[in-house]
Amino acid sequence: MYTILLDAAVASKVDLTAFTFFVGTMAMMAASVFFFFELNATSPEWRTSVLVSGLITFIAAVHYYYMRGFYLEGNGSPTFFRYVDWLLTVPLMCIEFYLITKKAGAKQSVLWKMIFWSVVMLVTGYWGEAGLGDATIWGTISAIAYFVIVYEVWMGDVKKLATSAGTAVSQANSALGWFVLVGWAIYPLGYLAGTASGQWYSAFGNLGLNMDIIYNIGDAVNKIGFGLVIYSLSRKAA
């Protein structure tokens, strides 16, 4: 652990990107420990939701530890490993919507719909970011899938179920909805910064924005924030 802290301290003096990978690792791990330790004090009704929150941040912590090493070894941006992380954690974040509205009658069709659109969003985003296809086209498809999720949370089945589930669930859904609408909007900024070369938005690349730093901030805010909303709900509705 001392070696990790020392490496991070040295790296942060010359490389803000490496430092945000380190902070991301520690923040995600700390959040995981908190959620897991709180499981026994959580009512059975909400225990699975809090467990999923812990799994989300734990999976992210493991990936961030690896991505930090990958980056410090001079391999550049760990795009592939980041998307592996997202393919595991983002569908889990969408599952949270199903779990909190289940008592209001949410069916598995809601679960699979949310998972499907999250996977479409991520796979098409990776295709464009990794240079496997035109970044504008694949980014647009990814954005469409994202807005489908936004619609479901704010106006679709998830919203209707959350409203019928009671005040506590409705408020939690609204809070999670803001994370999806505003927090997840951080990621397109990273995508634009990382794929600007040769695109119609190439001027965006001249702003000096760092894709990895944007993504690292977005992950910490959204994954931990999601978990804290679920944790708060488990206490209010206990």
- Contact of 35 with 57, CB cutoff 8 Å: yes
Structure tokens at 53: 């929150």
pLDDT, the chain, mean: 92
Q: How many domains does the chain have?
A: 1
The pTM assigned to this predicted structure is: 0.91
Gap between the Cα atoms of 142 and 63, Å rounded: 22
30 three-class SS: helix
Structure tokens at 220: 């910490």
Q: What CATH number is given to the structural domain containing 47?
A: 1.20.1070.10
Structure tokens at 120: 């479409």
Residue 75 sits at φ, ψ, to 5 deg, of -90, 5
pLDDT above 70 covers a percentage of the chain that reads: 93
Comparing CA positions, the residue from 38, 42, 45, 167 lying closest to residue 102 is 45
Amino acid occupying residue 144: I
User: How much is the average pLDDT of 172-182?
Assistant: 96
Structure tokens at 202: 């190439």
The DSSP secondary-structure symbol of 134 reads -
Tens-digit pLDDT profile for residues 141-169: 999 999 999 999 999 999 999 999 999 99
Gap between the Cα atoms of 128 and 116, Å rounded: 18
Gap between the Cα atoms of 105 and 102, Å rounded: 5
User: How much is the average pLDDT of 35-43?
Assistant: 95
Q: What angle do CA 180, 121, 202 make, to 5 degrees?
A: 95
Gap between the Cα atoms of 61 and 55, Å rounded: 10
Look at residue 76 in the predicted model and tell me its pLDDT. 92
Structure tokens at 10: 């040295």
Gap between the Cα atoms of 150 and 94, Å rounded: 11
Domain extent at residue 66: 2-236
Look at residue 5 in the predicted model and tell me its pLDDT. 55
Gap between the Cα atoms of 95 and 83, Å rounded: 18
Residue 12 pLDDT more than 50?
Answer: no
The DSSP secondary-structure symbol of 77 reads -
User: How much is the average pLDDT of 74-101?
Assistant: 96
